[in-house]
Every structure is written in structure tokens, then in C-alpha cells.
């Protein structure tokens, strides 16, 4: 009965209540949206790489090395000599080593030259290995493995021919059109940059760059595809390498040794530490966003409070009637609190519904343009705490009109 009175009372003031409801809904939508995207981005970032103990590249900042080697963002400052890779890979503390070579692209997606060890040892999330949805890893020079997103967006299937572009620009005029690759495998979705990557062998990368100097094709190769496949295509350099160690205890020791490598300047980073640094840098932005959305919510709460305070003046007869039939003064306090709570609860439902709808419709867009895999399910432990905080805040803000209603009920005048 108590809830019915509050609901009917709100319904009798449709106009002002609807406006408050809309303001509250939008503020909760913004607050939940920011929090959900923040959480999801954090999870995406931290699950991008796992099981890799060290990432080694040319000497640069740890964030830059992490960004270009794992997230395919930005460019490396320099390459690593192949001999260096062999030296490090043969270290007795190293269990496995994955060389990676970046620099080419296909329709805006990055091409990663690597070895088949990549598919055996690279893992993401909670030690999830890469799994083939179709086909297999490359075993010929011009074989290519697609990330799930590339295959889906560009509609590629096994056996399709793909021409890579030199450089990483979305629109490239330097094409490796004389050396097409054949799709031999398509990976399962991972929710990481792997999905937006085309994987080829290091030999494939070497093969398409024969007769190229300073990023420009100097002459058409006289070697046939068959001859190239049979040739020994030894890479001269790579962009970076990922290391898995036999013992975690050796990590810092090997990191120090690599950082002091005498033959060329190198940097070795711990991916977990670099990810934390990256997230720490972004925390200023996320906290600012959260603060702005919290302020929007507080403004909406105050709007509801103002609407309720204004309504008290028009409800003096209603309050008197309730008192006459035996309602205690605190009933009015609770009634107004309940009204605020109902508005907030309904706003929470509408805000959550609106956010879910937006996520459903924008999921593909977020993946395509930002590489963000945002879960449609917004009901996480964090969001439940947020809902509780929202309801708590609305109860606190509604204390002002509730006290006003209580006072009017307590001190009846004719």
C-alpha cells in the first residue's frame, strides 16, 4: 500500500516527475556508461597479453615498446638484429622466444611477421592459447593467418589471396602486389589486438621486401614465387621479441642483462608492469570522466530534490488528510523518501536499459574503430555497487524535501 501511494502520488504529478525522471535517467546512463567502459577497457588492456615474461625491443620507453609490440599502436624506434634475437633466444634461462616483425598492413589492419611459436606460446586473458577457428598456421612462405575480426570485416575465407601494403597507412600506394599471400588459417576471437592482425611468417616478410630499399620498390623481382619459396629467407632484423622464461625468478636478472646488452641498445620490459604504468597514466582521464559523470548525477539528484520540495507546498491538504486518518509525521518523511527512491530506481532501470541498447548497437563500431570489445552485460559487481551508491545518494538528497514534508506534517496549522 505504501509503495502504491508513493507511485500514484508521483503519477498524479506526471509533468514534473517525467522531467526529473529523464534528467536522472540520462545522468545514470552517463555514469554507468563511463564506469562500464572504463572497466571493460581496463580488462581488455590487462588481458591483451599473458604468459609473456619479457618483451624485448630496441631501446625506448617501456610504454612505447608495449604499445607497438602488443597493441600495434605507434611505431618502433629501431629494429633488433637477427643475431641479437638468436643470442637471447639461446640463453639458458629462456624457455621460448617469439620474434615479431611489424611494418606492413592490409586495409588498415597491421601485419605481424612471426614464427609458428607465436601460435604455440602466445596467450591472452587467463592463459588462453590462440585457437584456430579454421585452417592451420603458416607453413609456406606466402601463407597467412587472419585474426577473427579481419576475416569477419573483410569477408575473407581460407584460400583467399591477399595483397599486403608497405607501411602502416590506411591507404597505401606501395603495394606488394607481385607477392600475394594465401589465407591458410583464421583464429578464434580473442578480444585483443590479435583479432585485428594478419599473421605471416618472417620469411614471408623477407620475401616481399626483396628488391625494396628505403621503403621503395627498386625493380621488379626476377625470382618466381616458387623460387622464393625455396630460397633461404633469413631475416636480417626484427621489431621485437617476446620471451617465456624457465623460471620467474630469472626475470629481473635477464631483464638487467638485456638492458645492458653490449652489441646494441635494447630494452626489456615486464608486460604486467608496463600495463600497470599505462593504466596509471590513463587513470587521470578515467577519474576525470568519472568525476564529471558523478557531478551530472548529483545535479540530477538535486533536480529531483527541488521538484519534491516544490511539490510539498502543493500537497499541504494531502499531508493534513494523511495526518487526520492517523498517519504519523514520519510517514510523510518516509513517503517522500520512497518517492525519490522510486524515481531513482526507475531511472536506474531506464538508464541500464538505454546503456544496454546503445552497447548492442555500437558493439561492432567500438570493435572496428577502437578495438574495444565491450561486454553487453553491464551488471558486474562494480556496477551493482554503483547502483547501490546511486540509490544511497538519492536517499541522502531526498532528506531535504522529506524533512520539509515531515515538518509540515508535524506542525499542522489551519
Partner 1 sequence: MAIELSNIHFYYPDRPDHLILDIPSWSLSEGEQTFIHGPSGSGKSTLLNLLGGLLVPSQGKINILGQQLDEMTGRQRDKFRADHIGYVFQQFNLMPYLNAFDNILLASRFSQKQKSSALESEIKELLTVLNIPQNDWYRSITTLSNGQQQRVAIARALINKPQLLIADEPTSSLDAANRDAFMTLLKSIVKEHGMSLLFVSHDLSLSSHFKRIEPLSEINHIEDAA
Give me the least distance between CB of 20 and partner 1, in Å please: 17
CB 212 within 8 A of CB 218: yes
Taking the complex as a whole, how short is the minimal distance between the CB of residue 4 and partner 1, in angstroms?
7
Output the smallest distance, CB 345 to partner 1, in A. 19
The dihedral through the CA atoms of 374, 376, 380, 384 has a sign that is positive
Residues 23-82 interacting with partner 1 (rule: CB under 8 A): none
* 313: contact with partner 1 by CB under 8 A: no
Residue 206: name the closest of 237, 230, 168, 164 by CA: 237
Decide if residue 8 touches partner 1 (CB under 8 A). yes
Q: Which stretch binds partner 1 (CB under 8 A): 2-10, 237-245, 257-265, 275-283?
A: 2-10
* Candidate list 317, 361, 369, 381; residue touching partner 1; CB under 8 A: 317
Terminus-to-terminus CA distance in the chain, angstroms?
28
For position 11 contacting partner 1 by CB under 8 A, the verdict is: yes
Name which position in 5, 290, 334, 366 contacts partner 1 (CB under 8 A): 5
Smallest distance, Å, CB 346 to partner 1? 17
Q: Binding of partner 1 at residue 249 (CB under 8 A)? A: no
Nearer residue to partner 1 within complex by CB, 73 or 334: 334
Task: Pick the binder of partner 1 from 171, 326, 361, 381 (CB under 8 A).
Answer: 326
Q: Which three cell numbers stand for residue 175?
A: 603495394
* CB of residue 14 to partner 1, shortest distance in Å: 11
Q: Is 325 in the site for partner 1 (CB under 8 A)?
A: yes
How many residues bind partner 1 (CB under 8 A)? The answer is: 24
- How far, in whole angstroms, is CA 320 from its chain's centroid? 56
Let me know: does 203 contact 179? Beta carbons within 8 Å.
no
Q: Among 329, 341, 393, 400, which residue sits at the site for partner 1 (rule: CB under 8 A)?
A: 329
Question: Is residue 9 within the footprint of partner 1 (CB under 8 A)?
Answer: yes
Q: Which set of grid coordinates corresponds to residue 96?
A: 621460448
CB of 400 to partner 1, least distance (A): 22
The residues that touch partner 1, with contacts defined as CB under 8 A, are 1, 4-5, 8-9, 11-12, 317-318, 320-329, 331, 410, 412-414
Amino acid at each position: 500500500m505504501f509503495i502504491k501511494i508513493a507511485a500514484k502520488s508521483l503519477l498524479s504529478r506526471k509533468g514534473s516527475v517525467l522531467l526529473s525522471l529523464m534528467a536522472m535517467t540520462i545522468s545514470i546512463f552517463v555514469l554507468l556508461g563511463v564506469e562500464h567502459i572504463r572497466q571493460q577497457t581496463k580488462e581488455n588492456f590487462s588481458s591483451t597479453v599473458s604468459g609473456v615474461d619479457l618483451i624485448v625491443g630496441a631501446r625506448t620507453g617501456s610504454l612505447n615498446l608495449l604499445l607497438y609490440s602488443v597493441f600495434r599502436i605507434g611505431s618502433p624506434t629501431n629494429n633488433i638484429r637477427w643475431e641479437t634475437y638468436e643470442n637471447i633466444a639461446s640463453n639458458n634461462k629462456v624457455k621460448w622466444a617469439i620474434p615479431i616483425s611489424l611494418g606492413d598492413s592490409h586495409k588498415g589492419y597491421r601485419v605481424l611477421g612471426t614464427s609458428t611459436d607465436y601460435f604455440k606460446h602466445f596467450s591472452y586473458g587467463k592463459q588462453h592459447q590462440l585457437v584456430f577457428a579454421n585452417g592451420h598456421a603458416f607453413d609456406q612462405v606466402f601463407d597467412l593467418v587472419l585474426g577473427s575480426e579481419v576475416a569477419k570485416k573483410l569477408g575473407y575465407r581460407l584460400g583467399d589471396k591477399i595483397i599486403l601494403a608497405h607501411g602502416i597507412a590506411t591507404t597505401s600506394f606501395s603495394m606488394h602486389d607481385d607477392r600475394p599471400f594465401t589465407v591458410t588459417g583464421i583464429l578464434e576471437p580473442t578480444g585483443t589486438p590479435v583479432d585485428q592482425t594478419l599473421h605471416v611468417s618472417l620469411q614471408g616478410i623477407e620475401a616481399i621486401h626483396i628488391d625494396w630499399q628505403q621503403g621503395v620498390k627498386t625493380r621488379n623481382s626476377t625470382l618466381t614465387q616458387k623460387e622464393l619459396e625455396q630460397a633461404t629467407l633469413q631475416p636480417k632484423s626484427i621489431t621485437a621479441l617476446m620471451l617465456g622464461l624457465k623460471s620467474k625468478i630469472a626475470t629481473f636478472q635477464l631483464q638487467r642483462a638485456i638492458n645492458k646488452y653490449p652489441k646494441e641498445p635494447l630494452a626489456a620490459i615486464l608486460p604486467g608492469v608496463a600495463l600497470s604504468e599505462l593504466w596509471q597514466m590513463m587513470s587521470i582521464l578515467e577519474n576525470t570522466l568519472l568525476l564529471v559523470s558523478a557531478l551530472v548525477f548529483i545535479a540530477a539528484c538535486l533536480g529531483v530534490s527541488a521538484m519534491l520540495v516544490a511539490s510539498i507546498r502543493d500537497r499541504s491538504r494531502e499531508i493534513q488528510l494523511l495526518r487526520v486518518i492517523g498517519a504519523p509525521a514520519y510517514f510523510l518523511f518516509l513517503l517522500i523518501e520512497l518517492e525519490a527512491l522510486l524515481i531513482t530506481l526507475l531511472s536506474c532501470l531506464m538508464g541500464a536499459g538505454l546503456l544496454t541498447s546503445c552497447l548492442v548497437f555500437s558493439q561492432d563500431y567500438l570493435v572496428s574503430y577502437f578495438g574495444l570489445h565491450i561486454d553487453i552485460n553491464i551488471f558486474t559487481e562494480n556496477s551493482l555497487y554503483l547502483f547501490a551508491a546511486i540509490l544511497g545518494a538519492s536517499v541522502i538528497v531526498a532528506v531535504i524535501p522529506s524533512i520539509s514534508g515531515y515538518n509540515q506534517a508535524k506542525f499542522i496549522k489551519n
